[in-house]
């Protein structure tokens, strides 16, 4: 039996292995993903992003506990950075989630960015699909704790949470406008610390100043103390509000179309590129062009023109 | 051919509260290009095995100082077998008396690193013996 069939029968090891195959770029993985695709699209996807150490993993742990109380099965994808120097990674988000490790209603997968810059790995979407096909009701995606415009997670998750901590104080003005636009829900975590009220107030004020049309979603600023589980029920209730908004306003259709369009164009780009690239690398054309550019005897503009003219719609398979 | 990235789980079963050694080893693995799933302190064998399976790791490295190695480590191997996951190799490091090593190995532990083993040696052992 193939991995996809085993996964649909509830085989955990098969699911874990397919995630691995996806992450390692095995060609066989897409055959399995094809079979799983009709069984996906049911899970509700929550993204959690924010600066390093803001308490994202601790929040994920608490949110998971809350959803488990509601009887939901929860998948978690936790992304940490790959070291650009060694290609290795320490994936430490699980430390905060250990109590769910042996709960059969929870599946946690740690992923390394492997060179991807958008806060998640290239494999994240497919790993989410595997969890979706496994029957997870909610899938929580924790991004790398990086910058402020994690566009990738916004595309992927139905509800994007941006986690902040108090004490940003005057710096709050420095927060790029981008971050205001990506959040569906703001969380000021570590509310036990000084300055939480002020951070909540300032964020709320900035959000209200933002341009919005009638009927648009206005993100709320929630306060949590993840390490003690304070404010979590309210946060999960706000997720439910946002989900209801998506479905009742029709925004879900726009979200889904934009997401699927991005997935398709990305995949097409990658496959077309690989096909041409592998071929011209194998027959030496690529190397010739690069050395030609060094002496200016070849320009890349004409080279690409002629590659496309020569290969478009008639690209023979490269033999393995 | 596409190559697998080696994945290793590093954790600490039992009650003792020091994970400095485990962290040093985790960093050495990262620096050798491995993906390390670091699960931290106070892990039960059940949690370790569930995590190893979900993460599809190639091996599990456990650090143990509490003296409970003779119960906790064979338990991990036993649970792996129960889940038909005994292909995931288990090795350990920590304060483990020489006399206990044969027993641990016969329970399924692949290698035991006693104090003083360099991280280079541990990394070399993994690269030599574990294949994705
Ligand atoms: N005081 C306080 N500390 C908290 C709270 N929530 C989390 N922490 C602590 O903050 C530290 C970082 O928490 P994590 O959950 O690992 O943060 P993270 O955002 O996932 O970190 P990265 O994944 O490394 O970016 C830990 O020591 C937590 O115990 C809180 O509400 N109050
Ligand atoms: Mg984290």
> Residue A132: which pLDDT band, with cuts at 50, 70 and 90?
very high
For chain A, the domains span 1-36, 40-249, 261-311
For residue A314, what is the DSSP state? -
Residue A163 to residue A228: CA distance in whole angstroms: 16
- Residues in chain B closer than 8 A to A16 (CB atoms): 53-56
**Predicted local distance difference test score (pLDDT) of residue A171:** 57
Q: What pLDDT was estimated at residue A168?
A: 62
Q: How far is B31 from chain A (nearest CA, A)?
A: 6
Higher local confidence (pLDDT), A311 or A169: A311
Which of A57, A58, A140, A150, when mutated, tests ligand 1's pocket best, judged by the most ligand atoms within 8 Å of its CB?
A58
Chain A CA closest to residue B3: A24
pLDDT at A317 over 80: no
Average pLDDT (A143-171) is 79
More confident residue, A150 or A185: A185
Phi-psi region of A253 (alpha: psi -120 to 50; beta: other; left: phi over 0): alpha
Residue A226 has pLDDT above 90, yes or no: yes
Bridge partners of residue A111, in order along the sequence? A79
Percent of chain A with pLDDT over 70: 92
Q: Identify the pLDDT of residue B116.
A: 87
- What is the Cα–Cα distance from B61 to A206, expressed in whole angstroms? 48
For the question of whether the overall pTM of this predicted structure is more than 0.90, the answer is yes
Domains of chain B: 7-129 (3.40.50.280)
Per the model's pLDDT, the better-predicted residue between A1 and A141 turns out to be A141
SS3 A106: strand
The distance in angstroms from the start CA to the end CA of chain B is 13
Q: Please check the confidence at residue A284 and state whether its pLDDT lies above 60.
A: yes
Taking chain B (132 residues) in runs of 10, the rounded mean pLDDT of each run is 88 81 93 96 93 98 85 94 96 90 94 92 95 83
Those residues whose beta carbon sits under 5 angstroms from the ion ligand 2 are A 56-57, 93
Q: Are A94 and B51 an interchain contact pair (Cβ–Cβ within 8 Å)?
A: yes
Q: Is the pLDDT of residue A263 over 80?
A: yes
Angle, vertex CA B80, rays to CA B76 and CA B82, nearest 5: 115
Q: CA–CA separation, B96 vs B98, rounded Å? A: 6
CB contact under 8 A, A20 and B46: no
pLDDT of residue A148 exceeding 70, the answer is: no
Do the Cβ atoms of A109 and B55 come within 8 Å?
A: yes
User: Is residue A173 predicted with pLDDT exceeding 70?
Assistant: no
**What's the mean pLDDT in A288-292?**
97
**pLDDT at residue number A92:** 96
Chain A residue with minimum CA distance to B25 = A90
Q: What confidence tens digit (pLDDT) does each residue in B26-53 have?
A: 999 999 999 999 998 888 999 999 999 9
In this predicted model, what pLDDT tens digit does every residue of A73-82 receive, in sequence order?
999 999 999 9
DSSP A230: B
For domain A40-249, give its CATH number from 3.40.50.300, 3.60.21.10, 3.20.20.150, 3.50.50.60.
3.40.50.300
pLDDT of residue A170: 52
Residue of A74, A97, A102, A54 lying closest to A236 (CA atoms): A74
User: Given this model, what pLDDT does residue B42 score?
Assistant: 86
The pLDDT of residue A316 is: 56
Instruction: Tell me the per-residue pLDDT of A43-99, one tens digit each, with 9 for 90 and over.
Output: 999 999 988 899 999 999 999 999 999 999 999 999 999 999 999 999 999 999 999
pLDDT for position A146: 67
| A227, A229, A231: residue to mutate for ligand 1 pocket, most atoms within 8 A of CB | A227
Kindly report the protein residue whose alpha carbon is nearest to atom 25 of ligand 1: A52
């Amino acid at each position: 039996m193939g991995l996809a069939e085993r996964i649909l029968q509830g085989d955990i090891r098969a699911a874990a292995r397919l995630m691995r195959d996806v992450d390692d770029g095995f060609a066989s993985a897409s055959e399995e993903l094809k079979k799983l695709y009709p069984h996906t699209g049911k899970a509700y996807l929550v993204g959690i992003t924010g600066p390093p150490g803001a308490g994202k993993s601790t929040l994920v742990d608490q949110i998971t506990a809350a959803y488990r109380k509601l009887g939901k099965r929860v998948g978690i994808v936790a992304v940490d950075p790959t070291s650009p120097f060694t290609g290795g990674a320490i994936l430490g988000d699980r430390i905060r989630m250990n109590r769910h490790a042996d709960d059969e209603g929870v599946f946690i997968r740690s992923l390394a960015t492997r060179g991807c810059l958008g806060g998640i790995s290239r494999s994240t979407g497919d790993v989410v699909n595997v969890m979706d096909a496994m029957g997870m009701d909610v899938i929580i995606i924790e991004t790398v704790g990086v910058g402020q415009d994690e566009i990738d997670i916004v595309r992927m998750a139905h509800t994007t949470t941006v986690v902040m901590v108090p004490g940003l104080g005057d710096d709050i003005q420095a927060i790029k406008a981008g971050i205001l636009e990506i959040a569906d829900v703001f969380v000021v975590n570590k509310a036990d610390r000084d300055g939480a009220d002020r951070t909540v107030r300032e964020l709320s004020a900035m959000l209200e100043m933002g341009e919005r049309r009638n009927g648009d979603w206005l993100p709320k600023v929630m306060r949590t103390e993840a390490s003690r589980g304070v404010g979590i029920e309210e946060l999960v209730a706000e997720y439910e509000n946002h989900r209801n908004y998506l479905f009742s306003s029709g925004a879900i259709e726009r979200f889904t179309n934009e997401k699927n369009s991005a997935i398709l164009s990305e995949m097409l780009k990658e496959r077309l590129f690989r096909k041409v690239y592998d071929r011209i690398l194998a027959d030496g054309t690529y190397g010739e062009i690069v050395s030609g550019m060094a002496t200016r005897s070849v320009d890349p503009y004409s080279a690409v023109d002629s590659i496309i003219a020569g290969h478009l719609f008639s690209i023979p398979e490269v033999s393995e | 051919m596409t190559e697998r990235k080696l994945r290793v789980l590093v954790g600490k079963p039992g009650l003792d509260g020091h994970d400095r050694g485990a962290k040093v080893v985790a960093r050495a693995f990262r620096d050798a290009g491995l993906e390390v799933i670091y699960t931290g302190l106070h892990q039960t064998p059940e949690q370790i095995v569930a995590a190893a399976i979900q993460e599809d790791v190639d091996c599990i490295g456990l650090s143990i100082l509490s003296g409970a190695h003779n119960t906790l480590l064979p338990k991990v191997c036993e649970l792996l077998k129960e889940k038909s996951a005994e292909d995931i190799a288990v090795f350990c490091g920590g304060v483990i008396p020489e006399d206990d090593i044969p027993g641990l190995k016969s329970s399924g532990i692949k290698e035991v690193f006693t104090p003083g083993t360099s991280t280079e040696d541990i990394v070399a052992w993994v690269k030599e013996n574990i294949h994705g």
